[in-house]
Amino acid sequence: MKKKRVFTILVFFVLAATFVNAYYYRIEASCQDNICVQNKMANFSILVSNDGIAPVEFIGFELYETLNNTLITSLRKNFDPFSDKRGDTIVIYAGYKAKINLTGKLPKASYDDTLIYYACFTTALNDPYTNARDNNYELKKCFNSNESLMVVECVNNNDCAKEAFCKSFKCKPLKCAECQYISNHTCRNYKCCNNDQCASNSMCLNNTCMKLDCTSSQYYFDHACQDLNCSGEEYIFERNCRKLNCNSNEAFINHTCMRLNCSTDEDVDNHTCSKIECSFNEFAENHTCNPLRCEYNETISSHACKPLDCYFFQYISSNSCITDRKLIKKLLIEAAVVVAIVLFLAIDFRKYFRSHNEKISRYRAAEKEENALFTDIEQEMNETKKMEVPGKK
């Protein structure tokens, strides 16, 4: 009888536990403009109905993406199982319903344009036996029933990455040309990619045409500053070489007209100072040729009067040195006489030296014969002495 009573109590508790957890739910999702876009917020309305016989105390609600088990949104209530107030849990009594609103950012669709997700609910575990045995006061239950939601990648370009654009609710990558850049999900043309796309007085720098800062003595060529090489007869005007219209008494100096300051022996010729070419008997002064007036004893040299330097056999006449022929003739005769005298003297001296030399030669010959004679006598005497000495012995 006792065993039957215990079995009846256990069945009662099992049935009670089953009816206590008898609740079901329905989830409705909504998005702005009725289009759900990934990475944007969505509202989830969970309607929970308690069909059991006892109240159900909810602590948390979670929604997970099925493919990667990624948390989409959650709600967790304060729960203190040891307090009389129990916290701010959501209690749904038997026969009643409750709506829980969650907000979360939508992940990428699981399959094509469909997001598959599931729900997990956490309830307070009010079984004293289980609480005492496992020291556990709550129970989390995830449901196998998958929910689906159509989620698109985009509805406009702002929903895509900066290098993509939205087309047919899909983000398409941008394929820009070489001289384009991406801005606001659109390919835009650079102002320039090379100098040829800029004006002649500009150059392409950082894809922008920058005006060249050339000096007044430079001109624009091939998108660069080039120095103006104007000739001496030109000046620079508006970055161009212009012809100078100088007066005849002005020179081209530093690309300007400068008045000439020629010396007295120079004249203006083709905008320059040139030496005046005067005749031999003229000199240049006051920018013109003037006649020379030399003294009788002066001559003209290098367009100037210079003193005559005549030889002793010359005399001055008409500003020139004239040879005195009579004087030269007289000097020649005197010279001939002197030469003749010298020749006679030379002949006498030659005769004298010849006679003197002959006398010296005869004297030396006689002296040589005398020396030879003495030598012979001395030899005979020596021989005589040699012959006498052996006889005495």
Kindly give, in sequence order, each residue whose CB lies less than 8 Å from that of residue 335, ignoring residues fewer than 6 positions away: none
360 phi and psi angles, rounded to 5 deg: -65, -40
Residue 195 DSSP label: G
What does the DSSP assignment read for 143-193?
A: -S--EEEE-BS-SSGGGS-TTEEEETTEEEE----TTEEEETTEEEE-S-S
- Say if CB 264 and CB 285 are below 8 A apart: yes
Hey, where are the domains in the chain?
A: 21-150, 157-189, 228-259
pLDDT of residue 327: 77
pLDDT of residue 164: 93
- Say if CB 134 and CB 115 are below 8 A apart: no
Tell me the CATH number for domain 21-150.
2.60.40.10
pLDDT of residue 318: 66
> Tokens 């030269």 label which residue?
328
- Say if CB 115 and CB 65 are below 8 A apart: yes
d(CA 139, CA 133): 14
pLDDT of residue 310: 79
CA dihedral 165, 171, 175, 179 (to 10 degrees): 30
The identity of residue 108, as a single letter, is K
Q: What is the mean pLDDT of each run of 10 residues along the chain (393 residues)?
A: 35 39 89 93 96 94 95 94 88 95 94 94 86 85 93 93 92 91 90 87 88 76 74 65 71 68 70 75 74 74 76 71 78 86 85 80 80 79 68 45
d(CA 30, CA 41): 9
